Amino acid sequence: MFLGFVHGFFSGSRLAPACLGAGSEELLELVFERAIKAAPINPRGMCKDPDDEKFLTAAISGHAEYLVTKNKKDFPSHFSEIKIVNVRGFLQALETATRSSL
């Protein structure tokens, strides 16, 4: 779902031309306009670092497919709803999804 959104957002959507010259703030505004807002839930105790629970909460509440982090070790190792990946893993998944949609 998300990978399809990202692919469409940057390649075939009507927003793609707007993204070409956009700075980071403008790009975030474009993404936020199309984002799905969700009420948070509270997965206390699921992360080794309590400060990371807000990110897991947002991912669960937003029905995310992926949670991208630099510290996978602080998140649950087996979490069936969301793929917890580092940046490289996410980019590989995005590349795979892009290739399969061509």
User: For residue 63, what are the CA distances in angstroms to 20, 22, 67?
Assistant: 28, 27, 10
pLDDT digits (tens, 9 = 90+) for 50-102: 899 888 888 888 888 999 999 999 998 777 778 999 999 999 988 888 888 76
Look over the chain and give the mean of its residue pLDDT values, rounded to a whole number. 76
Q: What is the pTM of this model?
A: 0.57
Check whether 6 has a pLDDT greater than 60: no
- Distance, CA of 25 to CA of 23 (rounded, Å): 6
pLDDT digits (tens, 9 = 90+) for 11-41: 555 555 555 555 677 777 877 787 776 665 6
Element (H, E) at 2: helix 2-7
SS3 state at 86? coil
pLDDT digits (tens, 9 = 90+) for 68-81: 999 999 998 777 77
